[in-house]
Amino acid sequence: MSVKAFELVPAVERDLLMGDKARINIECIECCGKHLYMGTNDCFIHHFLLDEVTSSKGKLTYSAQKLLHKYLGLKKPVAELRAASALERLIVLCDGIVFLVDMVTLETVPSAAGGGAKIRGVTAFCVNENPVNGDPFCVEMGVISSKKRTVQIYMVYEDRVQLVKEVTTPEQPCAVSVDGYFLCLALATQYMILNYNTGASQDLFPYNSEDRRPIVKRIGREEFLLAAPGGLGMFANAEGVSQRAPVNWSESVIGAAVSFPYVVALDESFITIHSMLDQQLKQTLSFRDGHILQDFEGKVILASTKAVYVLVPLPLERQIQDLLASHRVEEALILTEGAQQNIPKDKFQILHKRILQQAGFIQFGQLQFLEAKEHFRTGQLDVRELISLYPLLLPASSSFTRCHPPLHEFADLNHLAQGDQEKVLRCKKFLISYLGEVRSTEVANGCREDVDTALLKLYAEQNHDSLLDLLASDNACLLADSVPWLEKYHKYFALGLLYHYNSQDSAALQLWIRVVDGDLQDSTRSGLYEYIVDFLCSCSNPDLVWKHADWALAKDPTIGVHIFTKRPVSKDVTELNPEEAITYLGKHSQALLLFLEHLVLERKIKKEKFHTHLAVLYLERVLSLLSEAPADEEHLSRARERLQALLRESNLYRAQFLLGKMENCEQLLLERATLHGKLEENGKALHILVHKLKDFSSAEAFCVWASCCRDSAYQQQLFHLLLEVYLDRSLPAKSQAAAGGGELEMAAVDLLNRHGEVFDAVRVLRMLPEGWSLQLLRPFLGRAVRASMHAGRTAQIAVGLAQSENLQLLHDRLKDRKKPIFVSEKKGCHLCHNTFSEPDVVCLPGGAPVHTHCVAQRVRDSPTKRQLTNSSNHT
């Protein structure tokens, strides 16, 4: 498992440098822009111009052109070279001396003070890439002096160097790196961090510098990479904390460089490349006689003793794509996310999204739906990319085209599943759940139609319960695309809903009617007929209602009539004119009856026409039942009850008209009596009830209901009328005889005993025949006497209470007024202004005494003020 992260490209070939001189070795290199400098063991500096050449195939090569070489004249190897490009100087360490040479001419720079800018006794130095001094024309440098246990900080100017600080170390340092004020030092037995400004130090970990050359490499702000025992590359920050896990090098690492996110290390025979993100070894390149490995401004250069190479990083995207191509999703994502800081934000976001989407598709292809979904979500995948994998799901009208270059390698779902139907099914189920989740989020913005239509198709195909929910709620399903699909899967009910959602109620109804009639098969909804009735019921288009009501009524009038009776009362639904409805319902008698009942009994519409119509219908029903040969008693009695109830309850129908209709019918005496009652022909009514029907309880009931909304006098009158009818002796004897003699008398007695309270007892006693026994009327008389007694006593109590209240008030008044009223012969009456001659006076409110006769006069004159005078006598 490896990644191709770098490519080794030769930069300066052996012959270009030293030709056939076998003993010349490269000691150090420096690269600054296109300028490559090399120090050799024979004290030469070579200057090359390094040009990048990209071939037509995109392959990068380098062409090196030698500009100059210069002998430094010290006969010692050049140990280190550092460019200070702002100063146009090379800082050279050779023979323990640091000095400056011109970058172009390679001439030694004479010091401003004369004698050359030199530092003597140096074993190693480093340049501060995070300088604390703000001067751009000044380079900060940490120097390990051969003087025991000292690190010096210098400022390097164009033509001079200046010592700014010297710090001692607990042991002799052998390698140094500096960032800001922090020196990272390899001492003889350990690494440490030393703040040269404050002198504070932090031990890192022990290390034996005699075993192996230490590596101290600044890799970023306040972070260093160190060679640790056991062949580890340890990370340490300025606080002495390791924030990344170490990378596992070989024991013999010579040099290390960082090219984010990779750590490149060189040992005797290999270049190893580890990722700093997961510490894994990513690539190994064989490289013999490696000598130097350094990174310069992001460019990793390595050198053997004879030649120079550049490690060219492959473009990140290519690396990521390679990882994805081998389905290494996690690694690809780690690499992408790790690269965040190296790529401009907007570019990174685009890249990251794309990688997430690709990763999602790879996982999708492996049926790892949970992970795929997460990546689609975070990658903000255009959901149509996914839908387009499924043949025919996207609407024909969709403008979508797959993204280019493609996000995945699949032509479509069949290609992905390789004919495995179970896989296809799982993918479909995934898409159902995914679309269901995203359709209401912003992911679906701009393609709601595509999403909803695809979802509809999947639901229909998979026979999914949510199909109806989708259609019943807010949706953007495209009608043209969905119709054939729903028809294909016999989802006619759903299709009707879709028609309805698209305001094509007529089409919806026609479709549903065909299903109910059995022309089409769809068992989605069991009570579809009732549903249609409900639908018509709340349908706002009257034409549609008129058009389809016939069908519904023909199918089942009792339910069909709900279209008219159950219409909700609201602003959205236009009211159907009842008269129109009645006319319309003319041919559906049962429905008409139900509708009229609805109008009259439920909605209590006070319209004579409806009431009469309903009464007539009831009557007709009763008559038709009566005319049947063996009368169906049960139905008949029920029909009559209804008729009677209506006749009793309603006051609006035309009683005379109805009476005319049943005039000849001897079987409907009760109804006729009721109608007479309605016409206030109480005598006739009672006559029928008592003499024809001999139904005394009905007669009593008649008296009760006929007077129920009237005053007690009317009630009394009615009951007296009944009593008279009972006691009427003027009737032919045959009826008396037929009644079995005393039957009417018994009814009269019962009536009196039962409803005694409404009668005027005195009048009753006068009416009763002499011969009746007291015993017979005992309950009535007892009650009458008791009631009379009760009334008398109640009245007495009321009088007593009123008197006592009056007395109480008088007492209170006196108490309030207390002061006496003086009456003398000298005082005048307020009304007549004559003096008083007698002690009897009347006091007006306010206590003014007046003559009694004056008050009497005044009361006579103004009766309204009667209440004001509260007479009282005082002496």
Partner 1 sequence: MPEVSKMKKPDVKLVLLGDMNVGKTSLLHRYTERKFKDTVSTVGGAFFLKQWGPYNISIWDTAGREQFHGLGSMYCRGAAAVILTYDVSNWQSLAELEERFLSLTDTANHDCIYALVGNKADLTDPRAQLCQDSDEASKDRMDCGEERTETQVLSACPTPPASPVSLSGITPGKQVTPEDAMALYGRILRYKGLEEKSSLPAEKMCFETSAKTGYNVDNLFEALFDLVLPSILRNTNENQHSPTVDLEECRGAKRGRPGCC
14 vs 165, beta carbon nearer partner 1: 165
- Virtual torsion, Cα 747, 749, 754, 756, nearest 10 deg: 130
Q: How far is the CB of 258 from partner 1 (least distance, A)?
A: 15
Number of residues near partner 1 (by CB under 8 A): 40
Q: Quick check: helix, strand or coil at residue 668?
A: helix
In the region spanning residues 524 to 553, those forming contacts with partner 1, defined by CB under 8 A, are none
| Residue 352: how many other CB atoms lie within 10 Å | 19
211 vs 474, beta carbon nearer partner 1: 211
Task: Work out whether strand 26-32 and strand 35-40 pair parallel, antiparallel, or are unpaired.
Answer: antiparallel
CA–CA distance from 810 to each of 98, 804, 805, 873 (Å)? 131, 10, 9, 12
Q: Which stretch binds partner 1 (CB under 8 A): 114-122, 285-293, 327-335, 445-453?
A: 327-335
Q: How far is the CB of 120 from partner 1 (least distance, A)?
A: 18
Contacts 24+ apart (CB under 8 A), 464-473: 464/432, 466/436, 467/491, 467/494, 468/493, 468/494, 468/497, 468/524, 471/497, 471/498, 471/501, 472/497
240 vs 828, beta carbon nearer partner 1: 240
Q: What single-letter amino acid sits at 816?
A: D
Please pick, from the candidates 7, 171, 278, 695, the single residue that binds partner 1 as defined by CB under 8 A. Answer: 278
Please pick, from the candidates 41, 279, 504, 753, the single residue that binds partner 1 as defined by CB under 8 A. Answer: 279
Token couple for 462: 């998979």
332 vs 585, beta carbon nearer partner 1: 332
Closest CA to 92 of 156, 146, 19, 181: 156
For residues 161 and 118, give the distance between their C-alpha atoms in angstroms, rounded to a whole number. Answer: 7
CA–CA distance from 614 to each of 561, 578, 592 (Å)? 16, 13, 9
Please pick, from the candidates 116, 131, 220, 338, the single residue that binds partner 1 as defined by CB under 8 A. Answer: 338
The answer to whether residue 420 forms part of the interface with partner 1 (CB under 8 A) is no
15 vs 330, beta carbon nearer partner 1: 330
CA atoms within 13 A on the CB side of 302: 29
Q: How far is the CB of 413 from partner 1 (least distance, A)?
A: 29
Q: Given its phi and psi angles, is residue 551 left (phi above 0), alpha (psi -120 to 50 degrees) or beta? A: alpha
Residue carrying structure tokens 């049947």: 628
193 vs 706, beta carbon nearer partner 1: 193
147 vs 555, beta carbon nearer partner 1: 147
The answer to whether residue 263 forms part of the interface with partner 1 (CB under 8 A) is no
Q: How far is the CB of 284 from partner 1 (least distance, A)?
A: 17
The answer to whether residue 330 forms part of the interface with partner 1 (CB under 8 A) is yes
The answer to whether residue 111 forms part of the interface with partner 1 (CB under 8 A) is no
Q: How far is the CB of 337 from partner 1 (least distance, A)?
A: 6
The answer to whether residue 168 forms part of the interface with partner 1 (CB under 8 A) is yes
183 vs 311, beta carbon nearer partner 1: 183
Helix or strand holding residue 595 (H, E): helix 589-597
Closest CA to 403 of 421, 391, 388: 388
The answer to whether residue 379 forms part of the interface with partner 1 (CB under 8 A) is no
The answer to whether residue 326 forms part of the interface with partner 1 (CB under 8 A) is no
The answer to whether residue 800 forms part of the interface with partner 1 (CB under 8 A) is no
For residues 388 and 809, give the distance between their C-alpha atoms in angstroms, rounded to a whole number. Answer: 99
The answer to whether residue 500 forms part of the interface with partner 1 (CB under 8 A) is no
230 vs 847, beta carbon nearer partner 1: 230
Q: How far is the CB of 147 from partner 1 (least distance, A)?
A: 12
The answer to whether residue 677 forms part of the interface with partner 1 (CB under 8 A) is no
The answer to whether residue 700 forms part of the interface with partner 1 (CB under 8 A) is no
Q: How far is the CB of 343 from partner 1 (least distance, A)?
A: 15
Q: Given its phi and psi angles, is residue 741 left (phi above 0), alpha (psi -120 to 50 degrees) or beta? A: left
The answer to whether residue 366 forms part of the interface with partner 1 (CB under 8 A) is no
Q: How far is the CB of 80 from partner 1 (least distance, A)?
A: 26
Strand arrangement of the beta sheet that strand 299-304 belongs to: 6-12, 308-313, 299-304, 290-296
- 10 pairs with which residues across the strands? 309
Q: How far is the CB of 463 from partner 1 (least distance, A)?
A: 38
Range 795-812 burial, b when 16+ CB lie within 10 A, else e:
eeeeeeeeeeeeeeeeee
Q: How far is the CB of 124 from partner 1 (least distance, A)?
A: 21
> Is the link from the previous residue into 246 a cis peptide, with omega within 30 of 0?
no
Q: How far is the CB of 184 from partner 1 (least distance, A)?
A: 12
**Residues 6 or more apart in contact with residue 576 via CB below 8 angstroms:** 542, 545, 564, 567
Please pick, from the candidates 7, 52, 102, 337, the single residue that binds partner 1 as defined by CB under 8 A. Answer: 337
Q: Which stretch binds partner 1 (CB under 8 A): 166-174, 473-481, 698-706, 707-715?
A: 166-174
144 vs 458, beta carbon nearer partner 1: 144
Q: How far is the CB of 509 from partner 1 (least distance, A)?
A: 56
The answer to whether residue 873 forms part of the interface with partner 1 (CB under 8 A) is no
Instruction: Catalogue the E-assigned strands of 511-595.
Output: none
Start-to-end CA span in the chain (Å) = 134
329 vs 768, beta carbon nearer partner 1: 329
Please pick, from the candidates 72, 87, 277, 670, the single residue that binds partner 1 as defined by CB under 8 A. Answer: 277
Which string of x and - marks every residue 769-788 that binds partner 1 (by CB under 8 A)?
--------------------
Q: How far is the CB of 193 from partner 1 (least distance, A)?
A: 7
252 vs 279, beta carbon nearer partner 1: 279
5 vs 106, beta carbon nearer partner 1: 5
Q: Quick check: helix, strand or coil at residue 694?
A: coil
The answer to whether residue 248 forms part of the interface with partner 1 (CB under 8 A) is yes
175 vs 393, beta carbon nearer partner 1: 175
Token couple for 731: 């009737």
Closest CA to 222 of 254, 276, 177: 177
For residues 254 and 291, give the distance between their C-alpha atoms in angstroms, rounded to a whole number. Answer: 7
In the region spanning residues 188 to 247, those forming contacts with partner 1, defined by CB under 8 A, are 190, 193, 195, 198-207, 228-232, 234, 236, 238-242, 244-246
Q: How far is the CB of 297 from partner 1 (least distance, A)?
A: 24
For residues 29 and 12, give the distance between their C-alpha atoms in angstroms, rounded to a whole number. Answer: 12
The answer to whether residue 41 forms part of the interface with partner 1 (CB under 8 A) is no
The answer to whether residue 376 forms part of the interface with partner 1 (CB under 8 A) is no
Closest CA to 677 of 651, 640, 696: 651
81 vs 334, beta carbon nearer partner 1: 334
Q: How far is the CB of 149 from partner 1 (least distance, A)?
A: 10
Closest CA to 134 of 119, 117, 113, 155: 155
The answer to whether residue 334 forms part of the interface with partner 1 (CB under 8 A) is yes
Q: How far is the CB of 421 from partner 1 (least distance, A)?
A: 34
**What DSSP string runs through 486-534?**
HHHTT-HHHHHHHHHHTT-HHHHHHHHHHHHTTSS---S-TTHHHHHHH
Q: Which stretch binds partner 1 (CB under 8 A): 273-281, 381-389, 601-609, 788-796?
A: 273-281
CA–CA distance from 629 to each of 623, 626, 634, 637 (Å)? 12, 8, 14, 16
HEC string of 276-307 equals: CCCCCEEEEEECCCEEEEEEECCEEEEEECCC
Q: Which stretch binds partner 1 (CB under 8 A): 33-41, 329-337, 628-636, 753-761?
A: 329-337
Residues that bind partner 1 (CB under 8 A): 166-168, 190, 193, 195, 198-207, 228-232, 234, 236, 238-242, 244-246, 248, 277-279, 330, 333-334, 337-338
